[in-house]
Amino acid sequence: MNYKFIQNRFDLKELFTKATDKEFRNLFQPVIPKIDLTGKIAQVISAVTEAVTVWLICQSELSNINKVVAFLLSVIAVILVVAAIEIGGRKCLQVLTRAIIWKRLTSFWYWVLFLFVLVITGFLFWQSYALSTKGIDQSFKQSVKAAITLDDSQLLERHDYFNNQINTKYDNQNKTLSDAFILNSDAKEKAYNSKIDAVNNLIKEHAQNQAKGVKWAKSHFNKQTKIAKDLIIEKESKLSELTTNHTKDLKAVEAARIAALNKEDNRHKKAFEKAESDLNKNHNSEKDNAQFWGSLLSGLVGLMILVAFVCIVITEIFRRGAGIEIDYQEDELPPTLWTIFVEGLSNRTFNVSYKMATKWYVERRDFNFSGTPVPMRRIGFYSSENEESNNQENTIIQTKIGHRVDVLDLNKLNKRDKEKFKAKQQKRICTYYQKYIEKNGTTPSYKIISDALGISVNTVGKYVRKSKKDGVV
């Protein structure tokens, strides 16, 4: 197989030479693997904090888009950023250390590439330190809400309850005073009305006696008239006094109500201020704790970055002291399964397409017996209901040969296309047969079907008999 897409692939293996200074190696060998492991653990800690920071940034910036898309983009960003910083930073630092301790900077191009790698290493180190320290500190600060709002629903509910109790109490007092005022007023008015009525009766009697000429009747008449006027004045005075006293009582009740409501308002205000003060104290305490732990952990993470940096340098110094040099061996790799699959699929597609095109071309040349194009006609009856279905059904045959299909042409078709053609012919004849019966109420003759579909009478008769035998019509 010719692998056109396959290119040579090489795997660079990092090989370490044997130590030239075995005493140096034997002295520091027990501790160097532990130092290297410590550096890798410190780098993992740094990577985790960087991932958290990048995740928070992405989630904040992508909060307005679809959650699934935001999640996927955040994961991709975390993987790319952390991999670039940690893997790139480690490799670059190793190269810089080796270039210095092995004194490889012997030419201009060494210095040029060294400076480029130095700039990249410094940038990655700065990014790692910024994301790890500032990110962890910011994540702790973000865990505490910037603004807090007191939920005073319970305080308001309690305040409304006491206000309702106060209003109910003084409303009942007002009702009691009003009922007592009405009863007293009615009793006073009835008592004075009865007295006034008795005096009026006496006045009427004295008026009758005066009319009869009784001498003392006039003095008694005047006396009783004065008594009646005095009673009316006394009645109005008493009722007015009752009204005044009632008004004073109502005002006293209202004053007591207002005083009680004001007292409750002051109590509610003090309770709200106390709750708000306690909430602010708790919030400030949470902020202080977040700031403390954020500063502490960011400092520890920054220290881990420095530890990782130092461990990498120490490991390279150990190799230099022991005389362990690093070489790279190129091993050619076999093609991947995906490459083989793509190449095979491409070859298979090309071969199939080539065979189909060749067969189509040969068939077109074989069907053109006279050397001139044979006019093509569509097969089928062309009513508005079945024109689209006929076009779709004829696609296979007309695409296959591109010419008029008759008995002679069927011999040029393969077995599969021949069976498809026969099934299609039978279907067209059965469809016309059934529609003719539905329209005219009688069965069509073979001649009618032959003329309508452009098929020979013998062919029509053969397919109709077969359809009747199969129970299709």
Q: What is the pLDDT of residue 8?
A: 57
Give the separation between CA 195 and CA 219, rounded to whole angstroms: 20
Helix (H, G, I), strand (E, B), or coil: what is residue 247?
helix
SS (H, E, C) 270-290: HHHHHHHHHHHHHHHHHHHHH
139 and 211 share one domain: no
CB neighbour burial string for 273-308, b if at least 16 within 10 angstroms, e if fewer: eeeeeeeeeeeeeebeebeeebeebbeebbebbebb
225 and 336 share one domain: no
Q: What is the pLDDT of residue 132?
A: 83
pLDDT at 376 over 70: no
Read off the pLDDT of each residue in 360-383 and give the average, rounded to a whole number. Answer: 46
139 and 263 share one domain: no
Residue type present at position 37: L
Q: What is the pLDDT of residue 157?
A: 92
Q: What is the pLDDT of residue 75?
A: 93
Listed residues 268, 283, 298: the one ending a domain? 283
pLDDT band at 285 (very low <50, low <70, confident <90, very high): confident
DSSP structure class, residue 336: P
pLDDT at 262 over 60: yes
More confident: 2 or 214: 214
112 and 163 share one domain: no
Helix (H) or strand (E) holding 12: strand 9-16
Burial of 36 (0-12, 13-18, 19+ CB in 10 A): middle
pLDDT band at 249 (very low <50, low <70, confident <90, very high): very high
- Sequence-distant (6+) residues with CB within 8 A of 295 are 137
pLDDT tens digits, one per residue of 398-414: 333 333 333 435 555 66
pLDDT band at 388 (very low <50, low <70, confident <90, very high): very low
Read off the pLDDT of each residue in 112-124 and give the average, rounded to a whole number. Answer: 94
pLDDT at 365 over 70: no
pLDDT band at 389 (very low <50, low <70, confident <90, very high): very low
pLDDT at 16 over 70: yes
pLDDT band at 370 (very low <50, low <70, confident <90, very high): very low
User: How large a percentage of the chain has pLDDT more than 70?
Assistant: 84
pLDDT at 59 over 50: yes
Q: What is the pLDDT of residue 217?
A: 80
pLDDT tens digits, one per residue of 141-156: 777 776 677 888 898 9
Beta-carbon count within 10 A of 97 CB: 19
Two structure tokens written together for 380: 């089928």
Helix (H) or strand (E) holding 143: none
Listed residues 226, 257, 283: the one ending a domain? 283
Q: What is the pLDDT of residue 44?
A: 92
Residue type present at position 409: D
- Sequence-distant (6+) residues with CB within 8 A of 161 are none
Listed residues 230, 251, 283: the one ending a domain? 283
Give the separation between CA 96 and CA 25, rounded to whole angstroms: 22
Beta bridge partners of 12: 330
CA distances from residue 114 to 93, 101, 309, 374 in whole angstroms, order as listed: 11, 13, 18, 77
pLDDT at 320 over 70: yes
Query: What's the domain count of the chain?
Result: 4
Two structure tokens written together for 373: 């194009």
pLDDT band at 372 (very low <50, low <70, confident <90, very high): very low
Q: What is the pLDDT of residue 222?
A: 87
Q: What is the pLDDT of residue 248?
A: 94
Query: Which residue spans within 25-149 are E strands per DSSP?
Result: none
Q: What is the pLDDT of residue 392?
A: 38
Helix (H) or strand (E) holding 455: none
16 and 106 share one domain: yes
Query: Across all residues in the chain, what is the average pLDDT?
Result: 81
184-193, 301-310, 384-393: least confident range? 384-393
Residue type present at position 300: L
319 and 335 share one domain: no
Read off the pLDDT of each residue in 89-98 and give the average, rounded to a whole number. Answer: 92
pLDDT band at 307 (very low <50, low <70, confident <90, very high): very high
142 and 20 share one domain: yes
Give the separation between CA 455 and CA 429, rounded to whole angstroms: 9
More confident: 28 or 363: 28
pLDDT at 61 over 70: yes
110 and 219 share one domain: no
pLDDT tens digits, one per residue of 324-359: 888 777 666 677 787 778 878 888 888 888 778 877
pLDDT tens digits, one per residue of 227-236: 989 999 999 9
434 and 391 share one domain: yes
pLDDT band at 434 (very low <50, low <70, confident <90, very high): confident
pLDDT band at 9 (very low <50, low <70, confident <90, very high): low
Give the separation between CA 231 and CA 195, rounded to whole angstroms: 8
Read off the pLDDT of each residue in 243-263 and give the average, rounded to a whole number. Answer: 93
Two structure tokens written together for 54: 């990048």
More confident: 4 or 72: 72
93 and 185 share one domain: no
Give the residue numbers spanning the domain of 349. Answer: 1-9+328-367
Q: What is the pLDDT of residue 266?
A: 94
Read off the pLDDT of each residue in 292-310 and give the average, rounded to a whole number. Answer: 87
Read off the pLDDT of each residue in 305-328 and give the average, rounded to a whole number. Answer: 90
pLDDT at 272 over 70: yes
Q: What is the pLDDT of residue 247?
A: 93
Give the separation between CA 102 and CA 320, rounded to whole angstroms: 7
336 and 320 share one domain: no
More confident: 114 or 362: 114
Beta carbons of 155 and 271 less than 8 angstroms apart: yes
Read off the pLDDT of each residue in 110-128 and give the average, rounded to a whole number. Answer: 93
Give the separation between CA 135 and CA 247, rounded to whole angstroms: 73
417 and 305 share one domain: no
Q: What is the pLDDT of residue 10?
A: 63
